[in-house]
Structure 1
């Protein structure tokens, strides 16, 4: 340890020790010193002997669970609650044991969730950290206390709109990878109480968007990480029907429908949320595959499909939203977008019953029409492209013929390509702004990918091939437009320093010949030096310009070497484009 660090450490120790040496020091004197946290972690015996006393633990808890008075100074409002929370989460065993083994102290801790108390988000965060620390370090005694105070479960669920409280519930019901693996037997009793019913009923009893969001997060966490019995319970048809019953009530806000559909998407495809959840990914590795919905649960999802499709029909709506390119009448809205995503995920499970139901109720045809009615909604285009792809790749000819014949996807593509400008027809869902030239529609990129997929699958599927060849307009557009567009937009063939093909063998950097590249640093320096011969700069500026020129060439040389290495090793094309733009 260096002399400076050693001196700093001694000063820190002396500050805390000087307080402990006083005859009538208080807890507040210690909390006012930032170094008390470090000393607690360092197992300062005098400090811990003072903090472990019941009276001091109670004072620490009150800073965490009780709102300060209006005339309190900033230390009591911000600093002391923070330091008190950190002292508990230092994981000093004797301090946690004093808390968890004393029922009065535990009552003081959980007094925060009583309905007659204020619940600020600041203190909720501190309260959450302490409770989770007890669950992790003193799980057995903690859950024994919880089993004797079941009213706390109800109080926590009532505060589900606070994200910190939501995190407690997730860990309490075992929807956390760490607790699930280590304390599965301890939390079996939660399966016998109606905690899931209480969470689901929040969609009916509350209008708060935060409550709906956090309730959905808990349900999705149950699917991904909770014990199988609990997860299977939430995947049952009765729960699915109960959720849709709340979502489809006319009196409920649209956020209920949005979040119920988010849960259904997670139920059908849990991996969709794993990409943003490392914890869920670890849970999948440790506990096997995700819980998948039963056939009865899927049937329960399809029971309200007709009601969802009614919401997708925008023809009878009269609301309007002005935009920079025109007017949406009506705007699609995120709840309709979520319905389209739900249909997209339904198709991915490969159920023949689902495919027949979607065809019979006209769901696929409806969402394909929305694709062309809202040409600037790229989120919608993404989901519909997936739907079309699922239909084209389906193993059943029923779905394939439906997308080609009844949905007439080829004709719609050709019509959009023939007139790629936004419509000025006032009866359309998206209308171009008046007194302005109609812009080009924003779905051409997705249309191109769909057309390429049709062409690709047509090489191996006789049904698609026959349908395309019978359409002379398609053949003409394919040869004169699509193939040329693909050649133009093929970034692998751009002669701007990018790799000509991703299949190129990786060359050793020592073998690279920099002179055959588009970027020639020597030529660049030569071009810049022409400025001097052309007398662009005055004599007084020569020295400054020389320095600038030297720094520029040095920077460009380094930049070029880095980019050439990326090119040779086949690293992502996006980096190449970024550097070119720079």
Structure 2
């Protein structure tokens, strides 16, 4: 055992630390210094917590390296210092977290002018974050004494590491009461309002992005904490401030009352989308209907947010018509002038979220502005923008699938015998004002015309198929089914006929092509004799699916043929070798001399079943090679060959199996497929290039007999294979003269 060897080697650091004048850089130059520190090497830890060493470690991560230092080692010591200080060793945490002079030196990094060195900022943030987690009381007390802490955090919010540090203060403080105190302190310092002020055109994109992301994370973290911590009496003050109407109004004022700025607009919309997030699964397409429980407080959007957004819907609508100026974009298929742009895409996402709230006053404002009509125009104009297409699909799916808003009054049909039809203004607007059905039909016809002329299929056709299916589905089973059917009946006679022909023809055919059916009504016989009957399945059968399954059956049957003949030949070969052992009359005779082998029908029977297949025909023909006969006639008794032979290992016989592929024509199809055909070469007999069906192939005269002749001698063996209710006979012809083995059905 290798355990008896002493593979443990003493670290060189221990020897190095015994020197009286050892320096910190010498220790950090050791390759295993980090491993030894994390393993809490006592000598190393005692050395690192020395006052001067701690000062040097903090200095490395807070001071810019000298420009004279070579670039590849410029940040070597700052990086190692950060790793040592964050190795989560108790003595280091205690020394750093309880020494105010060290904390002041660390804090001094924040007091530098912008922009901060992003790498050093990440080191600073990592060290302070682990101290917040390990020494929360001491660190919070220290930071609260610094009056400029929040100002400095907001000042450097464009540096991602500082944004991460701010979020760490909301997530890494474990004591619930201390966390609540931190939230109250940050709220008193107006951190939300200061972050909101960062999202305006006068600031750069980094500040827009990081301030927006900070606010979004505060919303999510606060809501998660509210659901996870049961019995928490105090609300989250930061979330409450964010959800105030005046806060949302200030956000919207930043982007609409000043010059248009793409980055600021997108960042504000991202914050609004986070505020609209609900505690239930969002729509993932067009199939799901709003789940029950939607009116529960945890599933609703704060009304103050909607009140702040509603007056600004006209400004968002105008952004769809006149987005911030974008340069012409060259793409692989043409020029985009103008491109969709991130602003308009974000506005469409915002409209989808507003529709999800299913608020009557918001719905009516969107109807009055005809925002849905503009969005549909964009859908059909930008045929390759799938980011836009999926959002439009979600919008239409929610309109079709959601019940009317609570403020909308149901309309009663005049006919007393009919059930009342609840009015949905959005659906009515979509079908009448936006001409939803007609635009789908026109776009489909236009696409088919272009494809017929050799053009490409339009990029929105997959989404258009799902939108059309959504209409059909919801007209039958959706909560607005009666209203949708009524609106379809109100179409002109020509449009109604086009829609009916489309749903029963083109749409149905497309759905068939998009459906993968892996079963048919045939019996499938596996090699384990298990039967699976799919006769009663409700799956639709068409020619393309039958072709695919017929190919599968052919593969199954071919595989079973290979199994059967390999077993047949192996059994026969092994029997011949064993018989030679039994009949050997002389010690001088070589029992392994190659001899001709003849197969008896009884030797072929194998308890295997094969899968069924459709018939196939058509093979290729090539001339066969003729070689010298290496075999001598074998006079062994056929009775001996018919005796039961035990299974023996394959090394006692030379059996080779080779495969080739040839085309065959299925009787149901004109296209060619590939079928694997087995060719067997026994005892070094080469495989013939002659295939079943060739005119040159010799027909089998009878099972299990030899065909005599002056030029050729054949050994023919047959096997009957069950194919459902039919039986097929397959044969293997071994021609000793031409040294070939031919497989025939």
Same fold at TM > 0.5: yes
* Counterpart position of 1:440: 457
Higher share in strand: 2
Seen in structure 2, the aligned counterparts of structure 1 residues 56 and 482 have a Cα distance that, compared at 3 Å, is: same
Seen in structure 2, the aligned counterparts of structure 1 residues 38 and 5 have a Cα distance that, compared at 3 Å, is: farther
What is the CA–CA distance in structure 1 between the aligned matches of 2:147 and 2:504, rounded to whole Å? 71
* Counterpart position of 2:571: none
After TM superposition, list the pairs within 5 Å mapping 1:310-349 onto structure 2.
310-313=318-321, 320-349=328-357
Would you say 1:213 and 2:209 are equivalent positions? yes
* Counterpart position of 2:179: 184
Alignment match of 1:404 (pick from 431, 434, 450): 431
Shift of 1:525: 11
> 3-state DSSP class of the match of 1:10?
coil
- Provide Cα deviations, 1:481-526, integer angstroms capped at 9, x if missing partner: 11111111112x2xxxx5789xxxxx99995889994573784899
Seen in structure 2, the aligned counterparts of structure 1 residues 271 and 216 have a Cα distance that, compared at 3 Å, is: farther
Seen in structure 2, the aligned counterparts of structure 1 residues 54 and 159 have a Cα distance that, compared at 3 Å, is: same
Shift of 1:86: 1.1
Alignment match of 2:91 (pick from 94, 97, 106): 94
Would you say 1:379 and 2:411 are equivalent positions? no
* Counterpart position of 1:195: 191
Structure 1 vs Structure 2 CA RMSD: 3.8
Seen in structure 2, the aligned counterparts of structure 1 residues 47 and 196 have a Cα distance that, compared at 3 Å, is: same
Q: Which structure 1 segments of 5+ residues have no match?
A: 276-287, 424-435, 502-506, 537-545, 558-582
Alignment match of 1:394 (pick from 402, 422, 429): 402
After TM superposition, list the pairs within 5 Å mapping 1:38-57 onto structure 2.
38-57=35-54
Seen in structure 2, the aligned counterparts of structure 1 residues 510 and 80 have a Cα distance that, compared at 3 Å, is: farther
Alignment match of 1:114 (pick from 106, 111, 114): 111
Comparing 255-264 and 230-239, the one that deviates more: 230-239
Seen in structure 2, the aligned counterparts of structure 1 residues 442 and 181 have a Cα distance that, compared at 3 Å, is: farther
Would you say 1:142 and 2:100 are equivalent positions? no
Alignment match of 1:462 (pick from 479, 482, 494): 482
* Counterpart position of 2:120: 123
What is the CA–CA distance in structure 2 between the aligned matches of 1:420 and 1:95, rounded to whole Å? 69
- Provide Cα deviations, 1:344-391, integer angstroms capped at 9, x if missing partner: 011111212211121122212221221112121111111111111111
Seen in structure 2, the aligned counterparts of structure 1 residues 467 and 116 have a Cα distance that, compared at 3 Å, is: closer
* Counterpart position of 2:580: none
Give the TM-score taking structure 2 as reference length: 0.61
Alignment match of 1:490 (pick from 502, 511, 515): 515
Seen in structure 2, the aligned counterparts of structure 1 residues 365 and 512 have a Cα distance that, compared at 3 Å, is: same
Are the equivalent residues in 1 in contact too, given 2:62–2:106 (CA < 8 A)?
yes
Number of corresponding residues: 502
> 3-state DSSP class of the match of 1:72?
coil
> 3-state DSSP class of the match of 1:439?
coil
Alignment match of 2:314 (pick from 306, 311, 314): 306
Q: Which structure 2 segments of 5+ residues have no match?
A: 226-235, 284-295, 405-423, 533-548, 563-618, 626-654, 662-675, 677-745
Are the equivalent residues in 1 in contact too, given 2:376–2:392 (CA < 8 A)?
yes
- Provide Cα deviations, 1:233-282, integer angstroms capped at 9, x if missing partner: 1111111111111122443521000111011111101569999xxxxxxx
What is the CA–CA distance in structure 2 between the aligned matches of 1:419 and 1:515, rounded to whole Å? 36
* Counterpart position of 1:59: 56
Shift of 1:183: 4.2
Are the equivalent residues in 2 in contact too, given 1:270–1:290 (CA < 8 A)?
yes
* Counterpart position of 2:275: 267
Comparing 298-307 and 133-142, the one that deviates more: 298-307
What is the CA–CA distance in structure 1 between the aligned matches of 2:520 and 2:133, rounded to whole Å? 54
> 3-state DSSP class of the match of 2:384?
coil
* Counterpart position of 1:354: 362
- Provide Cα deviations, 1:436-466, integer angstroms capped at 9, x if missing partner: 9753321111111111111111113122123
Would you say 1:478 and 2:503 are equivalent positions? yes
> 3-state DSSP class of the match of 1:161?
coil
Seen in structure 2, the aligned counterparts of structure 1 residues 54 and 316 have a Cα distance that, compared at 3 Å, is: closer
Would you say 1:417 and 2:425 are equivalent positions? no
Are the equivalent residues in 1 in contact too, given 2:262–2:342 (CA < 8 A)?
no
Are the equivalent residues in 1 in contact too, given 2:114–2:156 (CA < 8 A)?
no
Would you say 1:520 and 2:517 are equivalent positions? no
* Counterpart position of 2:13: 16
What is the CA–CA distance in structure 2 between the aligned matches of 1:200 and 1:547, rounded to whole Å? 78
Seen in structure 2, the aligned counterparts of structure 1 residues 517 and 420 have a Cα distance that, compared at 3 Å, is: closer
Instruction: State the structure with more CA Rg.
Output: 2
Higher share in helix: 1
Would you say 1:225 and 2:260 are equivalent positions? no
> 3-state DSSP class of the match of 2:149?
helix
Give the TM-score taking structure 1 as reference length: 0.77
Are the equivalent residues in 2 in contact too, given 1:247–1:257 (CA < 8 A)?
yes
